[in-house]
Amino acid sequence: MTYRIVLLPGDGIGPEITRVARAVIERAAALSGFSVRFEEHAFGGASIDRYGEPLTDETLAACQAADAVFLGAVGGPKWDKAPSRPEAGLLALRKALGVYANLRPASVHPALADKSPLRADLVAGTDLLIVRELTGGIYFGRRERTDSQASDTCTYSRAEIARVARVAFEQARLRRGRLTSVDKANVLETSRLWRETVSEMGARDYPDIALDHMYVDAAAMHLLRAPASFDVIVTENMFGDILSDEASMLPGSIGLLGSASLGEARPGIFEPIHGSAPDIAGQDKANPFGAIEAAAQLLDALNETDAAARIRKAVNAMHEAGEWTGDLGGDLTCSGAGVKLVERLEAEA
Ligand code: ATP
Ligand code: MG
C-alpha cells in the first residue's frame, strides 16, 4: 500500500516543522510495513510570492487527488498588505475539501504537568478531544450592516449537526466512551436544535456512549476547574473556536498540539494548531511535536493505527526523558528533536 500525501509546508516555521514530521511519517510507515509518497506544493504566503495567489488550481487539484493533506502554517507580517491573503488559501482549501469536523486533542503528559499554567494536580490526567463544527454557524451566516446597527446570523440544519455529532460519537467509542455536547440551549434556538439532534442520535445509535450536555459558559469554567473530567467534547463553530483555544493552553506550550479537519471522504487536512510563528522562523527553534501529533492523527485517519501508536509511544518516551525544545525548557533544536524521535522509533521497533 502506498499513500499519496500532499505536503504544504507554508510559511514561517511551517517548512522546519513539516520537514521533521515528514521524516517521522516515512520512518513509522516503513516500520509498520507500508509506504507514503509525499508531493510538495507552495501554499499561503509562499504561493503568493511565487504565483500571486495563496492556493493555485494545480495545488488544489493535487490536494483533491491525495489521500491526505499535511499542512505546516500560513501567514505572517510579510503579507499583511498583500492584495490576497495567505489565510484565504486555507479557507478555500477547507471549503473545497468539505471538511466540517475539526478535531483538536489536548492531553497533559505527567512529565509536563508543571509546564501548565494550571496547578499540576489540576491538569494531571487531562486527555480530551474537542470536535468543532467547522463550516456552519455564525461565522458563515448572513451579515448585515447599516451605519448604526449590525447583525450576524447563526444557522444550523439538523443534517449539519448530525454529521459532526457522528464524528464525535465515533471518536468517543475509540476513546473512553464519554461525550459532552456543548451548547447554549437556555438561550439560542440553534442550540436547542443542536441538543435535540445530538440527544436523539445518542439514544438511537450510541446507547453505549455516556452522553451529557453542558452550557458553553459552564464548559469554559469546567475546562479550568476539572479538565481531566472530559473525554470528547462536541460543539458548534464559534463555541468550538473559543473552547479549543482555551484547552490548548492546558498542556503548557502551543507547540505541542495537532489538529485534524475531516469531511465525508478523504482527504482530511492535518496541521499543528499554532501559527507560522514569524518571531522564531528560520532559527531551528520551533517545537515540532504539534506537527508530529498531527502526523499521528493523519495515520489514524488512514486507519494506520499501528504507525500512529509508534509515533505517540516515541513522543511519550521523549517527554519522560525531558527531551524538549526551548519552549518547554529543553535544549533540543527543531531538527535535533526530529533526529531523536526517529532514533526512538527505531529503538522501540
Ligand atoms: P496565527 O495568526 O497564524 O495564528 P499567531 O501570532 O496567533 O499566529 P503563533 O504563530 O502560533 O500565533 O505564535 C504565537 C507564539 O507562540 C509566538 O511567540 C510563537 O513564537 C510561539 N510558537 C508558536 N508555535 C510554536 C512552536 N511550534 N514552537 C515554539 N513556539 C511556538
Ligand atoms: Mg492565532
ipTM reported for the complex, 2 dp: 0.94
| Ligand 1 pocket residue status of 326, Cβ below 6 Å | no
Q: What is the pLDDT of residue 274?
A: 96
Determine the distance separating the centroid of ligand 2 and the alpha carbon of 105, expressed in angstroms: 17
- Which atom of ligand 1 lies at the shortest distance from residue 87's CA? 3
Å from CA of 275 to ligand 1 middle: 5
Quick one: which ligand is closest to 249's CA? 1
DSSP string computed for 191-254: HHHHHHHHHHHHHHH-TTSEEEEEEHHHHHHHHHH-GGG-SEEEE-HHHHHHHHHHHHTTTS-G
CA gap 168, 170 in Å, rounded: 5
Residue nearest to atom 8 of ligand 1 (CA): 275
The atom number, within ligand 1, closest to the CA of 290 reads: 27
> Would you give per-residue pLDDT tens digits along the chain (349 residues)?
899 999 999 999 999 999 999 999 999 999 999 999 999 999 999 999 999 999 999 999 999 999 999 999 999 999 998 889 999 999 999 999 999 999 999 999 999 999 999 999 999 999 999 999 999 999 999 999 999 999 999 999 999 999 999 999 999 999 999 999 999 999 999 999 999 999 999 999 999 999 999 999 999 999 999 999 999 999 999 999 999 999 999 998 999 999 999 999 879 999 999 999 999 999 999 999 999 999 999 999 999 999 999 999 999 999 999 999 999 999 999 999 999 999 999 998 8
Tell whether ligand 1 has an atom less than 6 A from the beta carbon of residue 136. Answer: no
Residue 275 neighbours by CB under 8 Å, 6+ apart: 12, 73, 75
87, 274, 279, 280, best to mutate for ligand 1 pocket (most atoms within 8 Å of CB)? 274
215 noted as active-site residue: no
- Residue 197: the pLDDT is 98
Task: Tell whether 132 is in a known binding site.
Answer: yes
At 194 the pLDDT is: 98
Residue nearest to atom 12 of ligand 1 (CA): 275
For residue 288, the ligand closest to its alpha carbon is 1
- State the distance from the centre of ligand 1 to the C-alpha of 336, rounded, in angstroms: 20
Is 11 a known active-site residue? no
Tell me which ligand sits closest to the C-alpha of residue 337: 1
* Ligand 1 pocket mutation, candidates 18, 90, 254, 333, criterion most atoms within 8 A of CB: 254
pLDDT at 12: 98
Ligand 2 geometric centre to CA of 278 (Å): 12
List all residues 6 or more positions away from 83 whose beta carbon is below 8 Å from its beta carbon.
none
The per-residue pLDDT for 348 is 86
- Report the relative pairing of strands 178-183 and 232-235 from DSSP bridges: parallel
Q: SS3 for 37?
A: strand
Q: Is the CB of 254 under 6 A from ligand 1?
A: yes
Tell me the C-alpha distance between 170 and 173, whole Å: 5
Helices and strands in the chain, H and E counts: 12, 12
Q: Is 245 a catalytic residue?
A: yes
Q: Atom 5 (ligand 1): residue with closest C-alpha? A: 275
